[in-house]
Amino acid sequence: MSRHAWQRSPEEFAAHLAQVTPWLIEQLQDDRQPWSPCAPGEILAKLPEQPPSSPEPLSTVLEDLQSIIEPGLVRWNAPGWFAWFPSNAHPDAILGDLLASATAQQGMLWASSPACTELETRMLEWLRIALGLPENFREGGSGGGVIQDTASSGVLACMVAARDRTTAGLATSKGGDACGGLIAYASEQSHSSVLKAAGICGIGRDNLRLIPTDEAYQLDTEALARTMEQDAQAGNRPCFCCATVGTTGCGAIDPVGRIADICGDHNCWLHVDAAWAGTAALVPEFRTALTAGSDRADSWSFNPHKWMGAAFDCSCLWLADRSHLIASMSIDPEYLSNSASRSGDVIDYRDWHVQLGRRFRALKLWVLLRCTGVDVLADMVRAHVGFAQQIENAVEGISELLLAAPRTLSLLCIRHTEGDDATQDLIDRINQSDRFAVTHCRLDGRLVMRVAVGTLAVDQETVDAFIAAIRT
């Protein structure tokens, strides 16, 4: 059969798959130096300025992948990756992603992909059950869940929905003045995406009140209650509050139940950001601390693409009452009109976030959850927490080091007793070790080394070597 140059025969595709497979496998057996040694511009300088006009063999592309691109990869899969948070690509999720790409689905509407839509509905429900999240997030009643690309997009979508709930839709229809007096709240330790969302959605960055935290870096609920009350007295409109379950800096868990009481007094939307720590709710003995009070939250999000291994990107968001989000996000141009949507019997996920087109992310969750299973993922989390405990015990035995905050799950914040310069020196030496990667944050203005245990490959030998490294 004759083919055009832009087409590939099944035999060619199969041969290409076989050609890339060794490289894929190599990525997962990753014990190379985690940080890239590249200097700025080094990769760019090796890439031709002009696009290729005629075909090149895949083998040539793979050679360049190895020689040009690979040095610029940061090894997030490496066993000694303790930087930021894990961003795990489990082999089962990689396969799911590959399968999803091959299906070329565009899941904006039920009609544009019934499978993408309905598998997503089921996956959100599986995960809701697996995390022990409350019934009111369940699809079927007024609630429901959706996959967003990132937690940042999720918090923006919820802030827009909250803004519209408070202004009875005027902010969307009229813009500008309708946002006057709207106030958002989050702790000083909340993720920067909350501040970004406040700027984008018209509430304004200056109208995000960053509430102080207590000695464990959890949002101070008395300060929140006082601030909201003062805002209400001054004629402002408390609109959106973000509670963080597992802050980015030190993993602090805000008291969601008490925050829900305060939000309830002011009809203020409560969003729970459990981007990293949410995965640990797979473990029954960790669950209560992570989900308490969430039955009174308006929205709750976590990133399976972080600790759970779902391969970036995949962020799950649940709503207690989906109608607000849908009211803010739905738009109905003629070219998308179809009988299934008109029937009201189907979900069109394009109405649940900013973008129209959407990837078939549910497929990688499906393959991951089926081939690995929830219990095994829970065991992984337990093991990682156990490794972090070992590092914590070791730090307690080193007189020059101390824990700058209580350990949360598998995240540790360590500093040197002699101050910031000594802590920076520790961070630099660890990062120059060729084996480990760590990042930093500041707590109470002091520099802290963050150690976030959680890659798929981390093992006892790596943890022992890390402990030996911080001892020396």
Ligand X SMILES: Cc1ncc(COP(=O)(O)O)c(C=O)c1O
Query: Residues in the site for ligand X, rule: CB under 6 A?
Result: 85, 150-152, 191, 193, 244, 246-248, 273, 275-276, 303, 315
* Shortest distance in whole angstroms from residue 343 CB to ligand X: 34
* Shortest distance in whole angstroms from residue 355 CB to ligand X: 14
* Shortest distance in whole angstroms from residue 77 CB to ligand X: 17
Q: Are 448 and 438 in contact (CB under 8 A)?
A: no
Using a 10 angstrom Cβ sphere, with 0-12 exposed, 13-18 middle and 19 or more buried, the burial of residue 357 is exposed
Residue 441's CB is within 10 A of a number of other CB atoms, namely: 18
Name the token pair of 168: 């009875």
How many Å separate Cα 418 from the centre of its chain?
A: 34
* Shortest distance in whole angstroms from residue 273 CB to ligand X: 5
- Closer CB to ligand X, residue 113 or residue 213? 213
- Closer CB to ligand X, residue 34 or residue 251? 251
* Shortest distance in whole angstroms from residue 247 CB to ligand X: 6
Rounded Cα distance between 456 and 86, Å, is 9
Name the token pair of 337: 């009109």
Rounded Cα distance between 345 and 43, Å, is 50
- Closer CB to ligand X, residue 191 or residue 322? 191
- Closer CB to ligand X, residue 109 or residue 211? 211
SS (H, E, C) 337-371: CCHHHHHCCCCCHHHHCCCCCCCCCHHHHHHHHHH
* Shortest distance in whole angstroms from residue 441 CB to ligand X: 11
Give, rounded to a whole angstrom, the gap between the first and last alpha carbons of the chain. 66
Name the token pair of 316: 């799950």
- Closer CB to ligand X, residue 112 or residue 248? 248
- Closer CB to ligand X, residue 275 or residue 282? 275
- At 256, which helix (H) or strand (E)? helix 256-265
Rg (C-alpha) for the chain, rounded Å, is 24
Would you call 64 helix, strand, or coil by DSSP? helix
* Shortest distance in whole angstroms from residue 402 CB to ligand X: 23
- Closer CB to ligand X, residue 83 or residue 182? 83
Name the token pair of 184: 């958002």
Rounded Cα distance between 130 and 372, Å, is 13
* Shortest distance in whole angstroms from residue 7 CB to ligand X: 36
* Contacts (Cβ under 8 Å, ≥6 apart) of 199: 205
- Closer CB to ligand X, residue 178 or residue 411? 411
Residue from 29, 93, 79 nearest 305 by CA:
93
Q: Are 426 and 470 in contact (CB under 8 A)?
A: yes
- Closer CB to ligand X, residue 197 or residue 458? 197
* Shortest distance in whole angstroms from residue 149 CB to ligand X: 8
